Structure 1
Amino acid sequence: MTSPLPVRLPAGPDDTPRLRLAYGADYNPEQWPREVWEEDIRLMREAGVNLVSVGIFSWARLQPTAGTWDFTWLDEVMDLLHEGGIGVDLATATASPPPWLTTAHPEILPVTASGETLWPGARQHWRPTSPVFRTYALRLVREIAGRYAGHPALVAWHISNELGCHNVYDHSDDAARAFRDWLRLRYTTLDALNHAWGTAFWSQHYSDWQQILPPRLAASHPNPTQQLDFKRFSSDALKEYLRAERDVLREIAPDTPVTTNFMVMGGIKGMNYADWAHEVDFVSNDHYVRPGPQARDELSFCANLTSGIAGHRPWFLMEHSTSAVNWQPVNVPKRPGDLARDSLLHVAHGADAVCFFQWRQSAAGAEKYHSAMVPHAGADSEVFRAVTDLGRTLEALAPVTGATREPARVAVLFDWESWWASEQDSHPTSLLDYHQEALDWYSALLALGIRADVVTTRCDLDPYDLLIAPVLHVIPETLAKDLNGYVESGGHLVTTYFSGVVDENDHIWLGGHPGALRELLGIRIEEFGPLPADDGVELDDSTTGTVWTDRITVTGPEVEILARYRTGAYTDRPAVTRRTAGRGSASYVSTRLGAEGLTALLPRLLAAAGVDSELPPAARGRVELAVRRGDDSRYLFLVNRTDEPVPVPGLTGELVIGPKRDDSGGGVLVLPPRSVAVLRQPAD
């Protein structure tokens, strides 16, 4: 059950090697004069920092011109950190090319779908498929790896930074050539490509590979399968670049683990991280809270999904914020308690490292208003005191290190290809939001106190009693068979509108919707009924639907109608159905109910699977439960989702962190607002 990150942190204060959680930040000493560096090391030790990421945006400093190198400053920084007992996750520094490179080789700059060049002045201004960029970048990687492979401060390699954050879709001639090569590998023949892309429509038949381009600005809607394949290709192109850097690092320093920071968070969908995870030695993720009523639910959802991507093994939180960010329309600071709760919620879902962007808040540049561990106000500040308190908390949580996430009985299925395809143009509605639909189901589970996993189609689905697959739009034949087998063998599947509609080529499953799941669900839909933005329909279970409705006809045996439409074009027709099949069941929800409506519906779906909350009734909806399991202990993370104290009676275990039990109230654990407690129980 114990599976620690392959990162060997420096020994603790007593110089005894031991497992402990990593704690730190991106460290950018090149932004500061030399005299600040010793103070940084002193404050890091005070805060409990034991790991920093260095060199992420340092290319121009390390290689001032094409023919010169300057490692003297980095040599000194590495030595200082080692002397301070702080490990280094050393970046390859390739995230942003320096001005001399883009001046000499403007052909490395990305091009948009409309033909505009993305010029230098920000970051990530490079083409993932540029052979020129790759030559210079890999030369830099080789220089860094060769110099620091044996340095005692080095604990991990950090490839680039947030690959694809700003350059995932490049439509340049380099991309066009690479796209054609990718398509040849996928389809082998033009006949196969023409079939997959449905080029009989709109006279798009290709007779030569050179005729194929990325989906650039067109007179109307570009070919939908071309768009979907370009999304697949773009993710694969970045993955291939990741491999190129990784292979150099493994050649030179095979014993040092390699990672790169994913961005599993709302709004970032260009990279299929489920497909990338096996390319690194351990999964890392960046996450930033987005304001709104589901802000912390989204944090939990993304941390949970990161764990699913990592195979429920521990992972690395490489970036989040101590307080406000700088890139939202209004950048609101975090409230007291949020810094710790946000951090520990990631640990609850499997993070063995808690790191921030960045260590010291910048005095200049585009991110000078982004919070940091040491703010502009300095160490005499509420933020730094909270940072230091968190360091002590993470030290107390050292026994959790390496514990894997204990599987839940319920899972929400998340699929990148369905996300990509369901939101393309020329569809029944542009209002569909795949990520939001998945998040709403997760929020409803949290509201009911149900512990759930977030998994991908690459995971083993059979262990789950209830599998929720919202907007599972793309279903290849093999996945359809797997879902049928899951239900026949006793699993309970729940899916929604616009699911099972197309295959992997974005071709409609004919014969009525939801084609791939039609027989399993025992329903048939002849026509979709999307709703205008300001419209809604009432169901006879007192919930309200938006965005979508379906004209459902029940076709199969053993179909129970759980709710009907009470208003709208499909009044009295089924809105929510459930069919018993084999030893399980398959349910269908034909409208967007939102988190509140799903909270009302879910108890009936959970009951069919025999699932109930593990929390006492008084804590359900107010406390989130996550469980990590080590070799001999279970760790129950109890996270107060509210701004009020919440009693959690009836749970036993040794208190690892959190408030003391209220002896006057019978030893009940009471969670203060926005707080986290961890109980340790013996493993079964």
Structure 2
Amino acid sequence: MPGYPALPGGIAYGGDYNPEQWPEEVWREDVRLMREAGVNLVSLGVFNWSLLEPAEGVYDFGRLDRIVDLLDSAGIMIDLATPTSSPPTWFRTAHPGARLVDREGRVLAGGSRHSFCPSSPEYAAASGRIAERLAERYAGHPAVAMWHVHNEYGWANAHCYCETSAEAFRDWLRERHGDVAALNAAWGTTFWGLTYGSFEEVEPPRIAPVGQLTALRLDYARFSVDAHLANFRRERDAIRRFCDLPVTTNFMIPNCEPMDYWRWAGEVDVVSNDHYLDAGRADNHIELALAADLTRSVAGGRPWMLMEHSTGAVNWQPRNLAKRPGEMRRNSLAHVARGSDSVLFFQWRASRHGAEKFHSAMLPHAGENSDLWHDVVALGADLRGLAGVRGSRVEAEVALVWDWESYWALEMEWRPSVDLRFRERVEAYYEALWREHVTADFVHPAADLSAYRMVVVPSSYLLTEAAGKNLRRYVEAGGHLVVSYFSGIVDENDAIHPGAHPGALRDVLGLSVEEFHPLPEGGTVPVGVGVGVGVGGGDGDGGLTGRIWSERVRLAGARAVHSFTGGPDAGHPAVTRHELGAGTAWYVATALDPSPDPSPDPSPDPSPDPSAEHGSGPSPARAPHIPSSGSGVPAGGTEAGGGGDLRALLRTVLDLAGVSRPRGLPDTLELVRRGRYLFLLNHGDEPVTVQGVSGTGVFDGAAHTGTAAVPAGGVTVVELAGDA
């Protein structure tokens, strides 16, 4: 498989370039300014199909030839796209059966991209032809560094409900289930008398009365992913017939819920991602870090590409807020810190027409005489200084389980509470770890977990029996597992696991759940710190608060760490701990208050060493090293540690698992080590001095002999001294 694209100048810098939107006299000005900014890679031709093939079977590559040669003369490399996300108007007119049909059965009009059925044989033929013609013509061009198939699969046409899709779905079901009896068994169609007599009777999950078979919807989601994958493979393979350059397509992690990117990961030569900051979130820099860590994890830990993000405001949020001074730089360098070997934007020059004319760009409408342009040029210089980072990896000792199929299953209707949201729990646990300065990977629940000292399962409502056994083996081998409520409930067909909840996790957690008690809107329950079973009333010393959820837990080998002191489950366990084999499994039966600004670590390390190598300690199968400060049972006698919230609980488990991390730093400071480079990003309004840092400043060449200063809103990157 081809590796990462070979690019000059270290970190790839640039973005989507759409010269077809401008007269040719503008092109030379674009190239001059690209060179001034340090641009070394552009994505070209993403929306060019109607120009390259103005009529069916009629091709015109003259305009593309000229811009490719112009970029080549300037030393700017090209990520050449197949333009298949936006079929020409002639295609929609000539092939009306290829139009997209929504869940209500409406045939959608044109005038936008992604307006086609992913199962259409006409689309398959046409997209394969244009990909092959492009590859044949440009495979040997020296400016082409890599190939970019399609654009943002699943953005608007994740699912199509036309008759062509229906027939393709039936074929897919035959392949998956074999015969209709097996399908009926898997889907549980005897419920409500919904049994099928043949595959021909199966319809896509179009709009129906409430209570539609959830297993039908799950399988349709899987089928739809496969339909898009088939289109990608067709174009990728057409390109590979002519060249062996890397091929990618831009993911949208984590904001394209219908695409299962674990399935996509092995199909691309390099993982690339589009990420746009949610300007309305106060903690959007944490969500950005989550997206980058998840993208790196989908890439298997290898360097990945940030294919798109924004210099400033986007055009599609309720309130499109411009980025504050320094925010674009922090955003860009945070992606690099967490594994990206590129910083690419949408787009190079701001558009005058269409839906995205108010979307920011590297070259804004204000042109060179703008603060944004000066920031773009300065960022290019910073990235040239980071050339040594390219190819290095980020190591993590902690992983969070993320499963797109569980995401789909949880968020269907008729669950115990509308407050059960997949990302709500994932983000709560991720945020607590981020504020503890813990770099985390994400994993599929059936993946090899042996490299991690600690694994968190925040939201795995759907968990296969095999995945449950995988988590048990991890704990028995010495791992530390933390599981949140409503996990392990159903199998891959959304059927309840036999026996008491949580069926797939009962053994590893050493407990069962007798009854769910979701809380009313805004409701809370008190949880006593260190209060065992049978103790009712009162909050206990330093009580916790639970939100969203409560449940009746019965111990079967585990022991209670904290118990509910009020609400429907008063006197019953709220947090449990189960020693199993060489490891420990924790269970949290409510949404503990995340407390984003808790009291300091009760035993901060006076000399934190953020440059310490992550992942260098013993594997979970061996006895973990317990740090000398902040570890074990804190002085208060409760196993959840100071503060008594979700973050404090995780702090305790991190310590028991021997997870290395700096202590005593403000939680507005983002600290990530990548190879021998330490990234320090200050999201606060006050400067921060970090102890225990020795090396050379990347941007200013300053010598650091034990400390590193990070200005308010600034970024400091240190190449660490020695062999680190």
Give distance in 1, aligned partners of 2:671 and 2:397: 13
Give distance in 1, aligned partners of 2:490 and 2:196: 23
Structure 1 pair 598/319, CA: closer, same or farther in 2 (3 Å)? same
Give distance in 2, aligned partners of 1:346 and 1:81: 26
What letter is aligned with 1:385? Answer: H
Q: How far off is 1:429 after superposition?
A: 1.5
2:511 aligned to 520, 523, 526, which one? 523
Q: How far off is 1:271 after superposition?
A: 0.4
Matches within 5 A, 1:88-487: 88-253=78-243, 255-266=244-255, 268-290=256-278, 291-406=280-395, 408-457=396-445, 459-487=447-475
Structure 1 pair 192/125, CA: closer, same or farther in 2 (3 Å)? same
What does residue 505 of structure 1 align with?
493
Structure 1 pair 659/534, CA: closer, same or farther in 2 (3 Å)? farther
Give distance in 2, aligned partners of 1:668 and 1:4: 41
Give distance in 2, aligned partners of 1:506 and 1:621: 39
| Contact 2:564–2:574 (8 Å) recurs in 1 | yes
1:622 aligned to 663, 668, 687, which one? 668
What does residue 72 of structure 2 align with?
82
Q: How far off is 1:458 after superposition?
A: 5.6
Give distance in 2, aligned partners of 1:121 and 1:317: 28
| Contact 2:398–2:440 (8 Å) recurs in 1 | yes
What letter is aligned with 2:668? Answer: R
What does residue 15 of structure 1 align with?
none
Give distance in 1, aligned partners of 2:365 and 2:545: 48
What letter is aligned with 2:125? Answer: T
1:6 equivalent to 2:4? Answer: yes
| Contact 2:397–2:454 (8 Å) recurs in 1 | yes
What letter is aligned with 2:679? Answer: F
What does residue 543 of structure 1 align with?
544
Give distance in 1, aligned partners of 2:709 and 2:205: 56
Which stretches in structure 1 are left out of the alignment for 5+ residues? 13-19
Q: How far off is 1:643 after superposition?
A: 2.5
What does residue 566 of structure 1 align with?
565
Report Cα offsets for 1:41-96 as digits up to 9, x if no partner: 00000000000001101111211222422211111000000001000001100111
1:668 aligned to 707, 710, 714, which one? 707
What does residue 581 of structure 1 align with?
580
Give the 3-state SS of the residue equivalent to 2:654 in structure 1.
Answer: helix
Give distance in 1, aligned partners of 2:573 and 2:113: 51
Between 1:449-458 and 1:338-347, the stretch displaced more is 449-458
Give the 3-state SS of the residue equivalent to 1:252 in structure 2.
Answer: coil
What letter is aligned with 1:479? Answer: A
Structure 1 pair 38/317, CA: closer, same or farther in 2 (3 Å)? same
1:610 equivalent to 2:600? Answer: no
Matches within 5 A, 1:37-48: 37-48=27-38
Give distance in 1, aligned partners of 2:708 and 2:447: 36
Structure 1 pair 540/661, CA: closer, same or farther in 2 (3 Å)? farther
Which stretches in structure 2 are left out of the alignment for 5+ residues? 530-542, 596-644
Give the 3-state SS of the residue equivalent to 1:516 in structure 2.
Answer: coil
Report Cα offsets for 1:603-647 as digits up to 9, x if no partner: 22223212342x241x24232222222xxxx22222223232111
What does residue 689 of structure 2 align with?
647
Q: How far off is 1:141 after superposition?
A: 1.0
| Contact 2:593–2:646 (8 Å) recurs in 1 | yes
What letter is aligned with 1:321? Answer: S
| Contact 2:6–2:145 (8 Å) recurs in 1 | yes
| Contact 2:693–2:706 (8 Å) recurs in 1 | no
What letter is aligned with 2:297? Answer: G
| Contact 2:463–2:490 (8 Å) recurs in 1 | yes
Give distance in 1, aligned partners of 2:48 and 2:240: 21
Q: How far off is 1:302 after superposition?
A: 0.7
| Contact 2:527–2:565 (8 Å) recurs in 1 | yes
Give distance in 1, aligned partners of 2:574 and 2:261: 34
What letter is aligned with 1:589? Answer: V
| Contact 1:563–1:575 (8 Å) recurs in 2 | yes
| Contact 1:437–1:594 (8 Å) recurs in 2 | no
* Relative contact order higher in (CA < 8 Å, ≥ 6 apart): 1
RMSD: 1.7
What does residue 679 of structure 1 align with?
718
Q: How far off is 1:107 after superposition?
A: 1.2
Q: How far off is 1:263 after superposition?
A: 0.3
Q: How far off is 1:286 after superposition?
A: 0.3
Give distance in 2, aligned partners of 1:293 and 1:459: 33
Q: How far off is 1:667 after superposition?
A: 6.1
Q: How far off is 1:120 after superposition?
A: 0.6
What letter is aligned with 1:486? Answer: Y
Q: How far off is 1:448 after superposition?
A: 1.7
Give distance in 2, aligned partners of 1:644 and 1:237: 50
Give the 3-state SS of the residue equivalent to 1:370 in structure 2.
Answer: coil
Structure 1 pair 537/616, CA: closer, same or farther in 2 (3 Å)? closer
Q: TM-score, normalised by structure 1?
A: 0.94
Q: How far off is 1:659 after superposition?
A: 8.6
Report Cα offsets for 1:355-404 as digits up to 9, x if no partner: 00000000111000000000000011111111111100000000111112
Give the 3-state SS of the residue equivalent to 1:418 in structure 2.
Answer: helix
Give the 3-state SS of the residue equivalent to 1:405 in structure 2.
Answer: coil
| Contact 2:446–2:467 (8 Å) recurs in 1 | no
What does residue 639 of structure 2 align with?
none
What letter is aligned with 2:555? Answer: V
Give the 3-state SS of the residue equivalent to 1:534 in structure 2.
Answer: coil
Q: How far off is 1:672 after superposition?
A: 1.1
Structure 1 pair 568/616, CA: closer, same or farther in 2 (3 Å)? closer
| Contact 1:643–1:674 (8 Å) recurs in 2 | yes
Give distance in 2, aligned partners of 1:148 and 1:621: 49
Give distance in 1, aligned partners of 2:438 and 2:352: 45
Report Cα offsets for 1:94-114 as digits up to 9, x if no partner: 111111111121211111111
1:66 equivalent to 2:114? Answer: no
Q: How far off is 1:675 after superposition?
A: 2.1
Q: How far off is 1:447 after superposition?
A: 1.4
Report Cα offsets for 1:428-462 as digits up to 9, x if no partner: 11221111211111110121222322233364211
Report how many residues are paired: 660
What does residue 17 of structure 1 align with?
none
Give distance in 1, aligned partners of 2:512 and 2:39: 58
What letter is aligned with 2:523? Answer: D
Give distance in 2, aligned partners of 1:536 and 1:343: 39
Give the 3-state SS of the residue equivalent to 2:215 in structure 1.
Answer: helix
1:492 equivalent to 2:491? Answer: no
What does residue 16 of structure 1 align with?
none
Structure 1 pair 46/4, CA: closer, same or farther in 2 (3 Å)? farther
| Contact 2:685–2:712 (8 Å) recurs in 1 | yes
Give distance in 2, aligned partners of 1:56 and 1:107: 24
